[in-house]
Chains A and B, each alone.
Chain A
Amino acid sequence: MRRLILSIVTAAAALSFSTTVQAREKTLTVYTYESFISDWGPGPKVKEAFEKTCACRLNFVGVADGVALLTRLKLEGEKTDADIALGLDTNLISEAKATGLFGPHGLDTSAVKVPGNYSDDTFIPYDYGHFAVVYDTQTVKNPPRSLKDLVEGDPSQKIVIEDPRTSTPGLGLLLWVRSVYDDKAPEAWAKLRKRVLTVTPGWSEAYGLFTKGEVPMVFSYTTSPAYHMVEEKTDRYQAAAFSEGHYIHIEVAGLLKGSHDKDMARQFLKFMVSPAFQDIIPTTNWMMPATKTSAPLPDAFGKLVQPKNTFLMGADEVAKNRQAWIDEWLNAMSLN
């Protein structure tokens, strides 16, 4: 009886294993963040467009958000299945390079035009946007006009933010506060904490709570209102322009050293900065394209907040201080 039970158990366990093993055909595996591959995100269209050109299968693997993407790669180390990591941002690249998992792309990236003329031998930008607090005009009559306003405003008016340990927007807010407040950042967080309804692991959860009406403000991008203007034909959701300036988010992709088909991975990166990919980005990922699109952007993009001043920290500085700043953030946010 016992032996029988044991054999059933092993059989069941073995079966659950076998479902995970799939025949490996010519496949390119791209690790990215959750919202990129959602039905309404760029993922499905990118997959279709790329597969037309490569006679291969493009396989997206989604994790909560950009920082989680790096954590996952660190966890998996050299045994990772990923050929491409798409969705880190410039804040993380020093740390990403330090893992030794990424290799040079060896491509000509002169077509890429992002603010600050960012260019790198390992990571290629594919879009960018400025972070911003997006609010619901129906419930927020007096939106914050500066980061200071946000920090010191009415604590009963809530905002949902992302966790800097998992999310690139979360990290962006951390760095933004740091850029403006410098050493006083912990005090600023201790104040802002009272306005925070909840902290989500990724951008999609935060934005989901916002659009469901659970919270009147969310930490997102200056470009987010374009989505509502184009897709929902409404001006209800607006980004708040902050007088200090806005932190910029430049999203990049890189090639994994351990990729089993580097040529195809390079082909994907080339495709990524071509109009075929870039045309998809503005109206699915709702970010600014990194290279020229074949048609001008929808009018809605002309109505967005144009930051007067742009913050961007050096990746080395971020790499050096990220852990300490996150500990500070945890400390300030866990005050009761």
Chain B
Amino acid sequence: MLTKIERRRGIALGLTSLVGIALFVGIAAFALLSWDAGQAQNRLLTAYNWRILQFTLWQATLSTLLSITFALPVALALGRRPAFPGRIWIVRLMALPMGLPVLIGALGLIGIWGRQGVVNSLLLNLGVEQPVSIYGLSGILIAHVFFNMPLAARLLLAALERLPAEYWLLSSSLGMKPFSVFRFVEWPAARRVIPGIAGLIFMLCATSFTLVLVLGGGPAATTLEVAIYQSLRFDFDPSRAIALSLLQIGITAVILAAISRFPAPDDTDSSLGRTNRRFDGRNWKAKLWDVAAILLATVFLILPLTSILLAGAKADLWKLLMSSAFHRAAWTSFAIALSAGLLAVATSLAIISARRALADIRHPGRPAKILSSALAATASLVLLVPPVVLGTGWFLALRPFGDVARFAPVLVAIINMLMALPFVIRILAPAIETHRRRTSRLSASLGLSGLPQLLRIDLPVLAKPLLTALSFAMALSLGDLGAVALFGSGELTTLPWLVYSQLSSYRTNDADGLALLLGAICLGLTMLGTAGQRRAGHG
């Protein structure tokens, strides 16, 4: 129960964020649509746009299929081997790509899969003439699998480990063969979560920007997001950018609608704590298979990370750390990340409290219900309207007012904030919900409200999830290249932009060094985040 004032305040805060976000997205959309929209309409389905659309969907389909196909044996093997040496580290390793800035991951992958990389020298020694290409479709697929296979494996593993221990006991006492265990126990569990996981991965791959920008290799391997960026930055052809943006929004809308029909995959309570005893897979064949699956996946993930580490260590890190270019970029990045992080947390709190206030109304009318779902939708608006589209809209909106680069830091911070919002809410909402359930009666009976309640009851408990959310949002913003790429210039340089632009000149040594530094910072922040989450989850 909330007091009337509390309820009003909650709803007011929520409305403010709702209006703020709607305005930000709305102005961008308006600018897009009002800029010679007629011309854009004519150019909506040119042969080129059509091919870009096809490629976007084709690579996302392949990436999703490959990621899940490779993730399934890994998850099954890890599930069957609760006592595998170093298992917890392997599971943690699988969380790393999530926190690694995409650009840095791409660098590591080039180090391993490039023509001079380990894989191709090995293949060459084996007498294979045609090297694996890290550019074009094959490169994009390798990179997407690198980032999404571990995600899928973790989610699948979590689904397997949620199965009650009795299942395993029973299947062993029934003397079920490995195939039967798969067919009757493991597969049904996996099948329930696979559509959700596939939808998530498909969405991530269909909106992939940085990887395609770095590894794409020309017009034949370009996704919608990259094509939007190119038509603005390369040709300055707004009508093409608008046409492509409309296609992009159409696609994400369809995908989101499809995803919403599946149950959302969930890795809470995952693996890290609970492990079941397993009685199957004791013969050497099964053991060999599992060890092979786990080792291959581990090597696949660890090689690019090692490559980043080794290449980065070769650079003169100290000189880099002391260089003014690094200081400027780090300062800019940090300011943007902190702004984006704080904004994301504040907005999430507002949205959560408003939804709570609305849920608290005993007989909610239609407006209350609509407002509540509008708030929920707002948080995920950025999924529908991707950063590059938002950036394009604001770019066009601000152009009449002078050099767009001047507004860039604020825009990038807000876009980063929107990108972080869905994640931040996912971290904060359950924590706050639990906390309120535990303490609302206590606070009410103590007559605490407002600031005293905040300081004495809320902050001590909620500080941890708040920090978790903040560090997660900051890591996301620090590693982001998508929003800054549109505006990046001599005046606005963030760390990823610095890495990207040094990559494009001869200074690859410096780029490697910077990549190591940035990668370490982001991984550090995410680990800080997940560590907090785990404790909060159990505490």
Contacts and interface: CB of A to CB of B under 8 A. Distances in A.
B166 interface: no
B230 A165 contact: yes
A198 B52 contact: no
Given A20-B491, A327-B48, A204 B133 contact: no
B277 to A, nearest CB: 48
* Residue with the highest number of chain B CB atoms closer than 10 Å, among A13, A193, A196: A13
A330 B409 contact: no
A48 interface: no
Q: Which of A40, A208, A330 has the most CB of B within 10 A?
A: A330
Size category of the A interface is 35 or more
A111 interface: no
B113 to A, nearest CB: 11
A1 B450 CA distance: 11
A5 B454 contact: no
Contact of A19 (B235, B331, B403): B331
Given A13-B339, A16-B335, A199-B218, A74 B409 contact: no
Contact of B47 (A34, A38, A331): A331
Given A13-B410, A201-B504, A212-B116, A76 B403 contact: yes
Contact of A61 (B331, B332, B345, B490): B490
A6 interface: yes
B271 interface: no
Nearest to B120: A214
A205 B135 CA distance: 14
A294 interface: no
Contact of A2 (B116, B216, B222, B346): B346
A336 B335 contact: no
A199 B218 CA distance: 5
A198 B138 CA distance: 12
B223 to A, nearest CB: 12
B308 interface: no
A76 B331 CA distance: 25
Given A199-B217, A201-B504, A330-B48, A75 B335 contact: no
A115 interface: no
B332 A196 contact: no
Contact of A204 (B343, B399, B504): B504
Contact of A336 (B51, B338, B501, B503): B51
B402 A199 contact: no
A299 to B, nearest CB: 25
Q: Which of B133, B220, B406, B413 gathers most chain A CB within 10 Å?
A: B220
A42 interface: no
Interface in A136-173: 156, 163, 165-166
Given A2-B346, A331-B48, A334-B51, A71 B504 contact: no
Nearest to B454: A1
Contacts of A19: 328, 331-332
B500 to A, nearest CB: 11
A91 to B, nearest CB: 15
A213 B114 CA distance: 10
Given A204-B504, A330-B48, A334-B222, A16 B409 contact: yes
Interface in B43-64: 47-48, 51-52, 54-55
Contacts, number: 140
Interface residues of B, number: 58
B505 A35 contact: yes
Interface string A299-312: 00000000000000
Interface string B221-245: 0100000001001111000000000
A321 B331 CA distance: 44
B104 interface: no
A15 B506 CA distance: 31
A197 B504 contact: no
Interface string A15-26: 111011000000
A13 B454 contact: no
Contacts of A333: 218-220
A5 B222 contact: no
Interface string A204-218: 110010001111000
B260 interface: no
B119 to A, nearest CB: 13
B409 A208 contact: no
Interface in B483-518: 490-492, 501, 503-508
A120 B331 CA distance: 45
Contacts of B399: 75
Nearest to A38: B505
B508 A208 contact: yes
Contacts of A87: none
A79 interface: yes
A38 B256 CA distance: 45
B403 A215 contact: no
B200 to A, nearest CB: 26
Contact of A335 (B51, B236, B504): B51
A2 B454 CA distance: 12
Interface in A1-57: 1-2, 5-6, 8-9, 12-13, 15-17, 19-20, 34-35, 38-40
Interface of B: 13, 47-48, 51-52, 54-55, 114-116, 129-130, 133, 135-136, 216-220, 222, 230, 233-236, 328, 331-332, 335-336, 338-339, 342-343, 345-346, 350, 399, 402-406, 409-410, 413, 454, 490-492, 501, 503-508
16 contacts: A2-B13, A12-B338, A12-B342, A13-B413, A15-B335, A16-B332, A34-B505, A39-B507, A62-B490, A71-B236, A165-B234, A201-B234, A205-B503, A205-B505, A208-B504, A208-B505
Q: Which 10 A-B pairs have the closest CB atoms?
A: A199-B218, A198-B217, A165-B234, A333-B219, A16-B335, A16-B409, A198-B135, A334-B219, A12-B339, A20-B491
